Structure 1
Amino acid sequence: MLERLLARPAPASPPSDREVRRKLDIGVDPMRAYAVGDVHGCIDKLRRLEEAIVADAAEQPSSKLLVYLGDYIDRGPGSAAVIEHLMAPPPDGFSRVCLCGNHEEVLIDVVDGRRSLDDWLRLGGERTLRSYGYDLTYMAKHRRGGGGDRTGEILSALPERHIAFLRQLPSVLSTPSFVFVHAGLRPGAPLAEQRDEDLLWIREPFLTEGAPELGRLVVHGHTPAEEPVAQRGRIGVDTGAYMGGPLTAVRLAEGTMAFLQTR
């Protein structure tokens, strides 16, 4: 059932300006949902955590949802492998939804000419390029000639199918009981009116106030903490995996909550 509800068409091609990302609403709560925080290229932690999730859900026969909350790339060592993993079929018995994070949005903005390459590199893009076999420091040292399209040359290291995957990521997933989103929500605004700018980037006032008017538990990443955060109607599961912290998932099942972590 979840597979049918999640089968929404993606945009065929990008417009000249940034396209508003899809907001998914599946209209039903899964029997069990797992939401995974910011991966940031930590492919080994990702694989171990997904294995732990599969083992944890082994006794649940159906309606299992795996939600990734964005920021798959940059800062950590294995961005290319993370994207390849997420593009593959989900574990048996699971539906998987991958949401967009602010790091994915910045990369697409660079590809489409809305931001400079340096904007992305300041966010850790150099490590992403290295995961695709492009060593920025080496190429800058040995590149012949000073002209040409430097940004185009660098971005050509990224496979088109990976860019297409990042381009179609939705900004939010909602169910009757939960809202899954990368950064958070703008307090006081209905879900339909939330802007991508807030969904992918916000911290305050969301972290302080939450979004109680929605009447749903908000599950998010984006703001790292040493431990998962559960307060004011929100659960934060970014525990700084790329900085040496664990990669964290929250399990939501029949009114209960538990955390799974891998280091």
Structure 2
Amino acid sequence: MRIYAIGDVHGCADLLEALYSEIDRELERDAPEDWRIIHIGDYGDRGPDTKRALDLIIERRSDRRVLSLMGNHDEGWLTFLADPHPVGLFVAHGGDMTARSYGVDADLSDVAGRIRTRDELLAAMPQAHLDFLRGLPRSFSFGDYYFCHAGIRPGVELAIQDREDLIWIRKEFLAYQGLHPRIIVHGHTPSAEVEMLSNRINVDTGAVKTGVMTAVVLDGRTKRIIDVRQDRA
């Protein structure tokens, strides 16, 4: 099975569409016996077009070989929709951009503004987008690889990993140099280029800031990278 694992999207719909085109060309050219596309999570916030990014992903998911994972920003978005009173991840880290992509003029400065923004956003979001966010799993396993958004707690069996660690962990996971039960494919922590180590592969190249969106291609014993780049001239 050939697997394409795509890093954090963060509303960069143009880059995602371009990366899909590269993947489509490869699949048409090579006709692998079986394949999967796995999104590592974080579809909204910070970038310019979250709505179109979700439209693209949901359209692709009509093929059951296209899979998507929960990221911490996706959980934060759902938390805001459920209770906009506190200043959480959505408010503090780019949720205004997500709201604007749905045509909502966000005011996140106080409780009244957050409630209005939440209500208007809920009214503007297609039901398919809400169902997508609410149905996201935290991990997948295929062969020698385990896929999650942020990483795992070293020394804890994969089957009993903490749900919050899977979308939030950083320091303990990134610093660990030993082997895990499987190679962990993750995003969450932006890197200037893909980190391909003996125990983990980080595919988050910080698309919203760098203009580079990346997928790692896992094909038998072969690992390689494809990316697309935004013209910043």
Both proteins in one fold, TM over 0.5: yes
Indicate the SS of the match to 1:212. Answer: coil
CA deviation string 1:216-246 (max 9, x = no partner): 1111000001110011410001001000331
- Alpha-carbon contact 1:73-1:128 (below 8 Å) kept: yes
Question: In the alignment, what sits opposite 1:16?
Answer: none
Give the number of aligned pairs: 225
Q: How does 1:142-157 map to 2 (within 5 A)?
A: 149-156=115-122, 157=124
Letter in 1 for 2:91: L
The question of 1:74 aligning with 2:45 is answered: yes
Picking from 185, 201, 206, the partner of 1:219 is 185
In 2: Cα distance, 1:78 partner to 1:184 partner: 26
C-alpha change, 1:249 and 1:91, in structure 2 (3 Å) is farther
Question: In the alignment, what sits opposite 2:81?
Answer: 111
The question of 1:63 aligning with 2:29 is answered: no
Aligned-residue offset at 1:187: 0.4
Indicate the SS of the match to 1:186. Answer: coil
Letter in 2 for 1:55: R
TM-score calculated relative to the size of structure 2: 0.88
The question of 1:256 aligning with 2:222 is answered: yes
In 2: Cα distance, 1:247 partner to 1:149 partner: 33
Indicate the SS of the match to 1:38. Answer: coil
C-alpha change, 1:164 and 1:226, in structure 2 (3 Å) is same
Letter in 2 for 1:84: D
- Alpha-carbon contact 2:40-2:69 (below 8 Å) kept: yes
Question: In the alignment, what sits opposite 2:163?
Answer: 196
Question: In the alignment, what sits opposite 1:95?
Answer: 65
C-alpha change, 1:187 and 1:121, in structure 2 (3 Å) is same
Question: In the alignment, what sits opposite 1:125?
Answer: 95
Indicate the SS of the match to 2:100. Answer: helix
Aligned-residue offset at 1:123: 1.4
RMSD in angstroms over aligned alpha carbons? Answer: 2.4
C-alpha change, 1:117 and 1:154, in structure 2 (3 Å) is farther
In 2: Cα distance, 1:91 partner to 1:158 partner: 19
Stretches of structure 2 that go unaligned for 5 or more consecutive residues are: none
Report which of the two structures shows the higher radius of gyration computed on alpha carbons.
1
- Alpha-carbon contact 1:226-1:245 (below 8 Å) kept: no
TM-score calculated relative to the size of structure 1: 0.79
In 1: Cα distance, 2:88 partner to 2:148 partner: 26
CA deviation string 1:157-213 (max 9, x = no partner): 333331121011000001231101100000011111111110001111111115624
- Identity of matched residues, %: 40
Letter in 2 for 1:244: T
In 1: Cα distance, 2:45 partner to 2:114 partner: 25
Question: In the alignment, what sits opposite 1:13?
Answer: none
Letter in 2 for 1:233: N
Question: In the alignment, what sits opposite 1:9?
Answer: none
In 2: Cα distance, 1:223 partner to 1:182 partner: 9
